[in-house]
Every structure is written in structure tokens, then in C-alpha cells.
Amino acid sequence: MKKLILFTGFLLAFRSEQAHSQSIGNWTFNNTLAGTGTPFNLPGAVTLGSAVGSGAFNGGTEYYVQSGWPASGIDLNAYIEFSVTPIAFYVLDITSINLRMRRSNTGSPSGSGPTSWAVRSSVDGFTNDLGNGSMTHNYANYLVTIPAINGIATTVTFRVYGFNSTTGTGGSSRLVLDNISLLGATGALAVKMNTLDAMVKNDAVVLKWSADDVIAGTTFSIEESTDGYSFRSIHQFIENQSKQKASYSHQTKLLHGKSLYRIKMKTSTLEVTASNVVPIVNTSSGLTIESVIAVGEQLNVAIHIPTNGVYSIQLFDTEGKLLFNVNKYLLAGSTTQQVLINNNSKRIMLLKVSKGSATSTRRFIL
């Protein structure tokens, strides 16, 4: 009787990230309010809060928003808004914003519009300042360092508030923008490898696992080991579609003794392996064909022999025609025997090893 010891193991999940910050959104205001992003995120067009007046381009290289800027503290409806959205199965890590802006240089003395600014985000409902400062009528770069917007899978919206506005004689109250640059990284969403399960069915090992947020192009490699140290890939396939939830299975031959399995997953930026392997121990003492490998004009057949004796090794085609037959005295244990195939054309074949009532068969395509 076969005795099978089965185990279930858990796999780790990792998120791939680009190592260094780069531009993930840029708004030049060169006659457009649209921004440019990366292949993995979509920047939203600049919009205005309800409390401020109209906006217009000046010379095709800058954009100003005129009137409505409060003379004292922040008005939550007086802002310039921009946003960025990751594509499906990706997340945002935002590290900083660079604002190149000024107030208007109109009026006497020169300078009209907000003298103070602040930046807030939708992450906390526009409650706290990410950065703030003062501005003049001369262009300057204002860098806002963002410490805690990481792993965001939805749209992140930012608002630039102008306040403490003053207006020189004959001037126009304006906040003028030359460029907004959003820095960070867009990484693959954490791929969650849930479980790897193993079971034995009809002298085969059936492996089943599932994963969440799988990206198209992900490669799955099923690996096998007999010692727990050196693993070899026994099957590999590529997932061609992005899926929020995916289930997979693979069937492989049951080896005699102990065998161990794991899954390795890889994309262009991500590689995940099992945190532990899943072993199966087959303590069967029966006659077993463990593997069949074609080498030139012969088959190398690995067989587990339960007891010493004379065994019959036979090869049949699909019509039952006997192609090879030999009787050999074999010792108990594992052995590899050669079966001549004599340049037979590719076909489905049946290999049979027997001794009395004990029989093991293996169907394969040559």
C-alpha cells in the first residue's frame, strides 16, 4: 500500500519598485494644461478651485490664474489642482514635487497676488500641508519633499493654495506657473502568491496555487528537487493577461522517495520564490516507472524495483503492436534501463514493466 505524506506551504509576496526617483508627471504649461507621465501612470489636466477666477496662458510658456486669492489665510476653494493615476496593477510612490512659480509682477510697486503658498493632497483629504512657503514676483523653484505617499494604487490629487494676497497699484492678483514636476516611482502592484498546495492523484503530483494582481508577461516556473538544495525547472509558462485573481495548476510525475516543489515567478522587474518548499514523501514499495527520457535511438527508463527478480520491459504503439521486449534480472532499488526505439516516427507509445501481477505503465509521446 502506498503511504503519502503531503504538506502545504505558503509563498511570499513582494512589490517591485524602481530604485531611484524619476519624473512621473510633468506639466509645462506650454499652451496646454495637460501633463505627461510614464507608460505606467496617467497625469490629469490642471483644474481650478471654485473660488478663483479664470486662467490664461501668457506667451504660450506660462499660465496664470487671476483673482479670487484670499488676502489672509487659506481658502479651501482657492487652489490650482493636478493629479496622477497609476494604470491597473501598478502603484505610485511619490517622493517630491517641484513647483516653478511666482506672483504677478504687475502693479506699483511690482508684485501682485498671493505672497504665500501651500500644497496638500487627497491622501489625507487635503487636511495637512505637505509643504508651504512665501513667494515673490520673480520665478523660483519650490521643492516639496513628500515622506509618506507610497504604494498608492488609486489617483492622488494635489492642490496648490495661494493666500495672503496683496495687489500693487494698477496690478492684477495672479499666481503664475511655469512648471510642475512630480517625482517618484511607479512600480508593479504587490503580486500576492497565496498558497502552493500539493496532492497525489493517479501516480502523479498535482500542484495548485493562486495569485492576485498578476501582470501580463509574468513567468511562472515550477521547480523540483530531491535533496532540498538543488532545484530544476520542470515546467514554465507565461501569463499573457493581467488578472486580479488567477488560479494555476500543474501535474508532474510522482517520484519514489521524497520530492520537493516550489514556484518561481518573474517579470521584467519582479522575481518571487516560495518562502518554503512543499515536500511529498512517497514511501510506496511498489514497482514504478519514474521517468522516460529519449536519447538518440533509445529510451533511458528509470525504474524503481521493489524486489530482486526477472522483469519484463515492453514497448507498444497505440495499436498495441509490440515494438520492444526484454526480460532481465533486476536488483531491488533504482535502476535505469535502455529501450531501443529504432527510429520510430513520433507517436504516442506505452511502456510497460511487469513481474507477475505487479505492473507499471507510462504513456508518452515520442
Q: Please determine, for residue 187, whether its predicted confidence score (pLDDT) is greater than 80.
A: no
69-83 confidence digits (pLDDT tens): 999 999 999 999 999
Q: 288-365 adopts what CATH topology?
A: Immunoglobulin-like (2.60.40)
Domain 22-188: give its CATH code.
2.60.120.260
Mean pLDDT for the chain overall? 86
Encode pLDDT of 150-178 as tens digits: 888 899 999 999 999 999 999 999 999 99
Locate the domains of the chain by residue range: 22-188, 191-282, 288-365
Residue 44: what residue type? G
pLDDT exceeds cutoff 90 at 27: yes
User: In this structure, which long-range contacts are made by residues 45-50, counting pairs with CB atoms below 8 Å and at least 24 apart in sequence?
Assistant: 45/82, 46/80, 46/81, 46/82, 46/180, 47/80, 47/81, 47/82, 48/79, 48/80, 48/81, 49/75, 49/76, 49/77, 49/78, 49/79, 49/80, 49/81, 49/159, 50/77
| 191-282 topology per CATH | Immunoglobulin-like (2.60.40)
Which pLDDT value is given to residue 346? 58
pLDDT band at 343 (very low <50, low <70, confident <90, very high): low
- How far is it, in rounded angstroms, from Cα 162 to Cα 65? 10
> What's the pLDDT score for residue 342?
72
Q: What is the pLDDT of residue 102?
A: 97
The answer to whether the 22-188 and 288-365 domains have the same CATH topology is: no
| pLDDT exceeds cutoff 50 at 278 | yes
Helix, strand, coil proportions of the chain in percent (round to 5)?
0, 65, 35
In the block, residue with C-alpha cell 520537493: 260
The counts of H helices and E strands in the chain are 0, 29
Q: What is the pLDDT of residue 266?
A: 81
